[in-house]
A and B are shown apart, each in its own frame.
Chain A
Amino acid sequence: MTRPPSDIPAAGDGAGSPALTPAAGPTPAAEPIPAAGLPPAVELRGITKRFPGTLANDAVDLTVRRGEIHALMGENGAGKSTLMSVLYGMERPDAGSIRIDGVEVSFGSPSAAMAAGLGMVHQSFKLFDSLTVAENVVYRAEPRRFGLVDRAAARRRVRELGAEHGLVVDPDARVGDLPVGLRQRVEILKLLHRGARTLILDEPTAVLTPAEADALFVVLRSLTARGRTVILVTHKLREVLEGSDNVTVLRDGRVVARLRTADTSGAGIAAAMTGRDVELDRVHPPGTPGDVVLAVEGLRTAGVHDVGLAVRAGEIVGIAGVAGNGQSELVEALAGLRPATAGRVGLRGEDITHASATERRAKGLAYVPEDRHAVGTAPAASVADNLAMGHHRTSLSSRHGLLPPSAVRSHARELVDRFGIKASTPDVPATALSGGNLQKLLIGRELAHDAPLLLVEQPTRGVDIGAIQAIHDELIAYRDAGHAVLLVSAELSEIRGLADRILVMYEGRVTASYDRSDADEATLGLAMAGGAAAPRADTPDPDDTPDTDGD
């Protein structure tokens, strides 16, 4: 690769007002000018993609220079994923052209795109959990001996690539056993093994801690320094501002802005994405804590060791931590979906340690789970049926357990209106909703319980800025109504913006606790990476029984 890396996010020349540029005309002002003689790594012209009822991409132009990190931003449904699917050969565009390194191409399949040097890391990882890292990396590009997979060569390859790019992973580990951050390394190794020169990453940091995200950007930088190109699809302004060279913003399938990162600010990008002014990083006024609602003492379950915490009425307690450090297990144990092996859980003074999920709900607990597709909803069921869940035994049904269909439907209409869920009728299946709307459905349903205690996991993962703010407002309103909220989020800004107190979980224990005012990102980030952990015993806890729910 001959071209030197592009200018790293050095201070631009006085980034004053956001350089908003309407995407009219063939050569908008902020269009990065390709270095003389070298064609752009990727050049999309007039890409149009129509789905039944939706114009997902409307004559989109996108130019990505070799060696840059190019951010692609936009709200949910703006057309980012669609555009990348078109580029990557997964969807055929209705109109438009694609050039890779100046050569016009037309990909019929991802393999064709891969052969042209593209590689994509999807938002939901595309990995084989039961296979090893090495097998995942070489899949479909296997080193062979006599027609058999040459496993030694595969391992060697993983080690070499890892060493070269700072992506160290054990080639023999089963991918299913790896934490998310390492899985992402495997995804990137996969692309590098295939010789990808342009990497597309769709929301790569959605599930990472700041530390992991920072590590990822170091890797991405080292890749671009070696002449590779990165297209980054994301909702996170911070990353874009710190990590990218140029930004393209989509709204409603159209390019609304092309910006040099150095020349812009977060507010500018946000305004371009939403089409209105957005107040970023709002810090909500603190709550006024009352009586203890949730009291946890010495709780143990698989993956959770000796956790104690308390949440009071009128406060939000945030749990920060890298995914896989026991937060999900803790919340599941609190919700009654996982048996506690020791300790005590009290809800409004009542011992609920061994109560079933239904009993806990009856006693005043509502719960927004992390995975809205697999756990939080039944995608094939109607919106009305999805909204009824949990209410079907209480407000909607009569004493005798009758559940009149009319009650279910009118309940649904009420919530659809109250929470602004976009659904044509309550009878459409939940699959028809976008990610953000599905999340609203979920949060609306749980808030409607008016339960004294709300457990919320990752309430805004993969949701756009507009919806994030609406959801945050709802949570604050809920707190201010005198309810207790336990919030689990991998998003530090979210935790810091909402929580009155912040706990950090590391390896199944609560290792640190901060008041909102003491918790800056650096401190929290360090604690999440184990910096605040007490020295860990080398032997696993004796009472740490293996989980028996056999999932």
Chain B
Amino acid sequence: NAAAKDDSSSAGAKGDGKSFTLVTPDSVGQNQFLKLAVDGVKAAAKAHDGTQKVYQSSDSASQQQNVQAAVDAAPDVVVLVGFEFADVVAQQAEAHPKQQFLMVDACTEKTFANVSCAVFREHEGVYLAGAEAGLLSENGKVGAVVVLDTGQFRRYSDPFAAGAKKVAAKASASTRFVGGQSPFDDSARAKEQANSLLAKGTDQIMAAAAAGNYGVFEAAKAKKAYAYGVDVNQCTAAPGTVVDNVIKKTDVAVQEGIEQVLAGKAGKTVSYGLKEGGISLTGLEDGVDASKCVIADHKDVLKKVEALRDQIVSGELTVDDPAAK
């Protein structure tokens, strides 16, 4: 069966171990963030000699139906990635107190004993990327192309500007939101948004445009500007153009979250940032030199960025969270 076995359905040994179901808010596709979540669930299943299922949704109706179906099957843990699930998890958690839920990237408003959460402080990583941009920019003009104008996504634009300004006082920043009829998929639009930044002379662009990132990279490459990726190492998509990536270790968060739940420590919220190692930059990880990232050639910049990271980790420096406004 060619129908995408790996992504969509149970794989792995059918042991007597644990069972996990991951529900995604969107198609996994090339969405690196969701891919990592899938990896996390798979790793957990493997570790427990158990089984895993992935239900991919596409809209609010299918999200609700998938969560319902997941709960009906009563696996050990239902894992949900994405803020879209907050309401439905609250409802289901109340109705099914025995069912354990793990929410990644968001949390319910109320706390439930059977809902554990893992959230990220992406802004810390973006801040560092902004600092790199500030150091590398020739004219101090940096910018971001972001999917939509929401608090969650502003974590990829505002801290980028802040980071750049931290290292280059007269840096200026601007943001473009992809928008349009399918903001997560419209790479042509994302590319044009990037072009409009490039036309202003911007030479460093943070790309948080989901599938549109590839469009941003293409635009940057054509103008010999630089871009910054998200979630995983995207440097391979456009070597020589992508400077660095704000890595979000969703797989780790999923795996650790499941362990916590199974260990009986449910109902807690774990926040991952630079300190916990859940957020990082490719340039700050091992194997920079093999990453194809531009930053590998700028060890001096990395030095300064490492220093900033240490300040954030120690609490000496705090990065504003736009989503908390």
In their complex, do chains A and B touch, with some C-beta pair under 8 Å?
Answer: no
> What residues make up the interface of B, taking CB atoms closer than 8 Å to A?
none
